[in-house]
Amino acid sequence: MHISTRDQIPHNKPTIGDEEIEAVVATLSSQELTMGAKVKGFEDAFSRYAGVSSVATSSGTSALHLALIALGISKDDEVIIPSYTCIAVALPIIYQQAKPILSDITDDYNISVEDVESGITEKTRAVVVPHMFGCPADIYEIKDLCDRKGIYLVEDCAQSTGALYDGQKVGMFGDVSIFSFYATKMMTSIQGGAVCTSNPDWLQTIKDLRYHDQCRSLMDDDPRIKYSYMMSDIGAVVGAVQLKKLDRFIDRRRKIASIYREEIGGEVIHPPEDARKKHVYSRYLIRTSFDPSKVIERLQSYGITAVMMHLPPLHNRILLKEFNKDAKFPKTDEVINSAISLPIYPSLTDEEAIYVAERLNSTMEEL
């Protein structure tokens, strides 16, 4: 296959069709742009899809912030998160002046249950479990641990909307779960997110705090600190169209993953497969013994953008160092130094996926 400079294969790209564009134009024409019926319509549709009630937000980060507030996480509380994930998982904990305590990961890039257990202290209030790269974490084991220790389980489904664990959607296991609909996620509302919970009090708190002017009556002088974390109607209509396409997007990502698994040769570690887990491949990470930056540079010369994910790891970040001074994260370090994320998105064609695999194979022979 000949790829000219016009045909660069990006690492990721949203899949936007005419229906999304028409929905945006119709909403703009309606002049109803914020917190209107469209947001409620999206929330209803997403709650049906997720199997649990949802509140739409401006982002996954704001969703996690509101979730932690609803759970009562505050100053000096400890919240356990993995060392290999997006910084957005740590930030809302810091907003609350609580402490993000890091755990190492396992071979499927998800948080290690044993490490979570050894990190629990009398100050631990919650564990935030991101289902990384589309692969569900060992959620039964983590849930069981949280129940035994009396701490909250927050599922972070930002990278895994639609993934299944034991046939059940991620987001249905935690006390609270959050989602992201950022442009490059499984589905998009441009920017946006959602908090899901079956606890009516927490749902109400999240709805009350999401908007600074949210009040129950005109004279209501609610003393709580409120935010500006709303989803716009424009975002909501895009999200509603994308939600209808989500299962097709997932099928397509899984097809591309199967091409990579089949076509990439050599000593490559592919994402682990587990019969209990339906992986939705928001990212396709491989590991090799080659220097990732050299592989990435070579792929770039072939018109393919691959990247290293979540650098630097959280335990090396200035913002988090003080909370995790002497801890070691050997698995995170191993993964950080070897993992390469290949292009994967619904509009990547089979032909392009085969081209990526072929170029990766030849790169590994050349290096």
Other Cβ atoms less than 10 A from the Cβ of 270: the count is 13
161 binds ligand PLP (CB under 6 A): no
Binding mask 165-204 for ligand PLP (x = CB under 6 A): ---------------x-x----------x-----------
CA 270 – CA 279 distance, rounded (Å): 12
- Residue 244: how many CB atoms within 10 A of its CB? 12
85: which residues sit within 8 A by CB, 6+ positions away?
Answer: 130, 132, 156, 310, 314
Among 90, 158, 186, 238, binds ligand PLP (CB under 6 A): 158
Cβ density class 158-195: b for 16+ within 10 Å, e for less? bbbbbbbbeeebbbbbbbbbbbbbbeebbbbbbbbbbb
The answer to the question of residue 59 lying near ligand PLP (CB under 6 A) is yes
Asked if 86 interacts with ligand PLP (CB under 6 A), we say: yes
Stretch that binds ligand PLP, among 13-21, 54-62, 69-77, 342-350 (CB under 6 A): 54-62
The footprint of ligand PLP on this chain (CB under 6 A) covers a number of residues equal to: 14
Cβ nearer to ligand PLP, comparing 60 with 303 = 60
Q: Is the Cβ–Cβ distance between 57 and 210 less than 8 Å?
A: yes
- Round to the nearest angstrom and report the end-to-end CA distance of the chain: 22
The interface mask with ligand PLP, positions 87-116, x = CB under 6 A, is -xx---------------------------
Give the interface segment with ligand PLP, choosing from 24-32, 56-64, 225-233, 244-252 (CB under 6 A).
56-64
Whether residue 76 contacts residue 96, with contact meaning beta carbons closer than 8 Å, is answered with no
- Using CB under 6 A as the binding rule, whether residue 61 contacts ligand PLP is answered as yes
Which residue number, 146 or 158, has a Cβ lying nearer to ligand PLP?
158
**Residues at the contact surface with ligand PLP, assessed by CB under 6 A:** 59-61, 85-86, 88-89, 130, 156, 158-159, 180, 182, 193
